[in-house]
Every structure is written in structure tokens, then in C-alpha cells.
């Protein structure tokens, strides 16, 4: 492991893309790739967004295994069909984070509700999720089902202040207590439930805006690119999630954005 950071170093959202690299060798290509695969699977990075999850997928692809990688390989195989399902935050992860955040969070910790199940609202990766505190979570472990005697699914996790970082399939995801909804947020949420309201497009990662493809007032279809972010020496297209009209555009080319920042709003 060839790393450029050490304990105590500050890594901001403007960090150099090459924080560390893993180098593997073996008696032949297959042996080296097998060692590299095991090393990637055993690596945990919490608190930073890395391409570890992507690399775990890539190193298992036949094109890589067979030495047939070309400059257009990713255009042909990325993203895989299962990527959305694989990268979705599992329900038990929300429970683990809620359990860790509920402890020592003040007199109202634990999600207490009058005549109701204790509930905590969390925010992670642009999602807001209400978690009923029925699944005991202790130091990064939670039952896999509503049964308190069932098997436990464990996550590498750490709490830093009011944020819990969980390793989910190689990606560090930050969970925090969600802010109480204001009038605008409540109205947008209600509209989304009925399929008529605006949808916010948020930054999936910190990065720099290198291209903007639409302007306020433009009509967009679901999947149409709105802008492109550059992060970790890779370009990431941010697309419209729905058909509609671009009602707001909050960034311009060359802007630096942070993960979770609102980039645009599309009205159905």
C-alpha cells in the first residue's frame, strides 16, 4: 500500500485524487489479479469518498481478467445492470447508523415519541429516511431482521461528532440526523408523493463542474445529462431523474461542489 497520507493529516474536499494505491504482484497475471482482488475486498476507508467500490467491480470484469482492456472498455461495460441495486443503502444500514447516533445525543436521544414508536430521521447520500428504533444497533452491528435473536449483519463504522460513517460495499456513506422539514421541504415532499412536485438534483460526490448542458426553462427527459462533475480524475454525468422542466440551476462551469449540495431542480 503506497499512501500519501498519515494519521493526523487533514484531507479536504480538494484532496489530490491519489491518496493511496494498492499494488499487487504474483507469479503470473491471474495470481496478481487474485491478490489484488483480495486486497481491495479487505480495504476499508471511512469518511472519504473513494473509487474502492468501483475498483472491486472492475477487477472482476472479464475484460480486465483477460487483459483485453482498451480505451473504450468502460464506455461499453459501465455501468453494469446491477449497479443501482448493489449501491442502494440497505435498510439495516439505516438502523445501524440510527442506533449509533441515538446514543449520547442529548435528553431526547433515541427518537422518543409520545404514544408512538421511537423514530429517528436520518439523512445520507441525498436521501432522508425515518428509522423506527426497533432494531438494536451496537457499535456497527444490527440484526438482519425484526427478530432480535436473528443473525447480525456487521458494518465497519465510525462516529465522528454528529456523523456516522458506514462502509457499504466499499463506499463510505455519511449518515447524520436530518434537519426538521421547513415549509418548502414539506411542500416538495408532499408534491413528490403525488408525483407532481419538483425534484432536487444533488451532487453525488465532491467535485468540480466541468460542463453544463441545460439552462433554466429547458425541457429535460429522465436520463438527460444536466451537468458533468470531475472527481478523482473521472468524469461523472449528473442526469435528470424525471421528465420535466429545469426550474433552477444553482451552479456554473468551474464551480466546486460538495456532496449533497443542490445542483438543480426539475419540475414535473
Return the H-helix or E-strand segment holding 141.
strand 141-143
Q: What is the mean pLDDT of the segment spanning 211-217?
A: 94
Residue 249 pLDDT > 80: yes
Q: What is the mean pLDDT of the segment spanning 112-116?
A: 54
pLDDT at 218: 95
Q: What is the mean pLDDT of the segment spanning 238-255?
A: 92
2 Cβ contact partners less than 8 Å away, ≥ 6 residues apart: 20, 21, 22, 23
Residue 29 pLDDT > 60: yes
Residue 109 pLDDT > 80: no
Return the H-helix or E-strand segment holding 56.
helix 52-58
pLDDT band at 183 (very low <50, low <70, confident <90, very high): low
Q: What are phi and psi for residue 266, nearest 5 degrees?
A: -110, 130
- Work out the percent of the chain whose per-residue pLDDT is above 90: 41
Q: What is the mean pLDDT of the segment spanning 191-208?
A: 74
pLDDT at 147: 32
Asked if residue 180 lies in contact with residue 120, where contact means CB atoms within 8 angstroms, the answer is: no
Residue 232 pLDDT > 80: no
Q: What is the mean pLDDT of the segment spanning 186-192?
A: 56
Residue 189 pLDDT > 80: no
Tell me how far apart the alpha carbons of residues 165 and 161 are, in angstroms, rounded to a whole number. Answer: 11
Which region among 83-87, 91-95, 104-108, 166-170 has the lowest average model confidence (pLDDT)? 104-108
Residue owning grid cell 426553462:
217
Q: What is the mean pLDDT of the segment spanning 244-256?
A: 93
Q: What confidence tens digit (pLDDT) does each residue in 120-167 have?
A: 889 998 788 888 876 444 445 444 333 333 344 568 999 998 899 999
Q: Which three cell numbers stand for residue 130?
A: 425515518
Q: What is the mean pLDDT of the segment spanning 105-120?
A: 60
pLDDT at 191: 55
pTM of full prediction above 0.85:
no
Residue 106: count of CB within 10 angstroms of its CB: 6
Residue 265 pLDDT > 80: yes
Residue 37 pLDDT > 80: yes
Amino acid at each position: 500500500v503506497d499512501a500519501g497520507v498519515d494519521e493526523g493529516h487533514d484531507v479536504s474536499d480538494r484532496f489530490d485524487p491519489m491518496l493511496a494505491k494498492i499494488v499487487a504482484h504474483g507469479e503470473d497475471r491471474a495470481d496478481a489479479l487474485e491478490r489484488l482482488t483480495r486486497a481491495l475486498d479487505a480495504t476499508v476507508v471511512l469518511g472519504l469518498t473513494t473509487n474502492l467500490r468501483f475498483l472491486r467491480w472492475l477487477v472482476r470484469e472479464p475484460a480486465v481478467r483477460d487483459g483485453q482492456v482498451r480505451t473504450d472498455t468502460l464506455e461499453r461495460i459501465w455501468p453494469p445492470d446491477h449497479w443501482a441495486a448493489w449501491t442502494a443503502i440497505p435498510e439495516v444500514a439505516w438502523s445501524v447508523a440510527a442506533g449509533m447516533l441515538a446514543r449520547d445525543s442529548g435528553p431526547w436521544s433515541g427518537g422518543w415519541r409520545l404514544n408512538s414508536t421511537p423514530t429517528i430521521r436520518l439523512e445520507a447520500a441525498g436521501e432522508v429516511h425515518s428509522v423506527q428504533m426497533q432494531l438494536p444497533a451496537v457499535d456497527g452491528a444490527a440484526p438482519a431482521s425484526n427478530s432480535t435473536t436473528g443473525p447480525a449483519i456487521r458494518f465497519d463504522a465510525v462516529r465522528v461528532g454528529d456523523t456516522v460513517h458506514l462502509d457499504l460495499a466499499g463506499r463510505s456513506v455519511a449518515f447524520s440526523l436530518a434537519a426538521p422539514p421547513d415549509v418548502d421541504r414539506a411542500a416538495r415532499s408532499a408534491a413528490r408523493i403525488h408525483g407532481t412536485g419538483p425534484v432536487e438534483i444533488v451532487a453525488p460526490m465532491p467535485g468540480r463542474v466541468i460542463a453544463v448542458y441545460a439552462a433554466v426553462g429547458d425541457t429535460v427527459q429522465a436520463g438527460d445529462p444536466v451537468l458533468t462533475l470531475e472527481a478523482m480524475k473521472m468524469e461523472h454525468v449528473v442526469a435528470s431523474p424525471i421528465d420535466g422542466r429545469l426550474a433552477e440551476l444553482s451552479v456554473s462551469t468551474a464551480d466546486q461542489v460538495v456532496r449533497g449540495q443542490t445542483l438543480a431542480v426539475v419540475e414535473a
